[in-house]
Amino acid sequence: MEIEFRVIDDEELPPVIIKKGENDSPKIIINNYHRVWLCLNRGLINGIFDVLPKKITELLDAYLREQYGYEIMDRRE
């Protein structure tokens, strides 16, 4: 799976956007309009990608626990 990167220059959009691209692959949009902010916060932004996998895992584990609870309830009926 390939990650698509795009650079835009739009006052209305936030500095960084992560969204679903074509074929469900990730698409990262970097907004050049906010380049000073991006430069000043580049270390923090890079750090996000150290924490993000843990947060996604927590979110998915909670979802799986919830689904498993529903499965157990369905079996009892």
| pLDDT value, residue 23 | 87
Range of the domain at 52: 41-77
Euclidean distance between CA atoms 55 and 18, whole angstroms: 15
Q: Are residues 74 and 47 in the same domain?
A: yes
Same domain for 29 and 45, yes or no, is: no
Residues 45 and 29 in one domain: no
Residues 46 and 74 in one domain: yes
What's the per-residue H, E or C state across the chain?
CCCEEEEECCCCCCCEEEEECHHHCEEEEEEHHHHHHHHHCHHHHHHHHHHHHHHHHHHHHHHHHHHHHHHHHHHHC
Whether 50 and 73 share a structural domain: yes
What are the pLDDT digits (tens) for 4-40?
A: 999 999 999 999 999 999 889 999 999 999 999 999 9
Overall domain count for the chain: 2
Handedness of CA 34, 49, 60, 5 (dihedral sign): positive
Q: Model pTM?
A: 0.75
Q: Are residues 20 and 45 in the same domain?
A: no
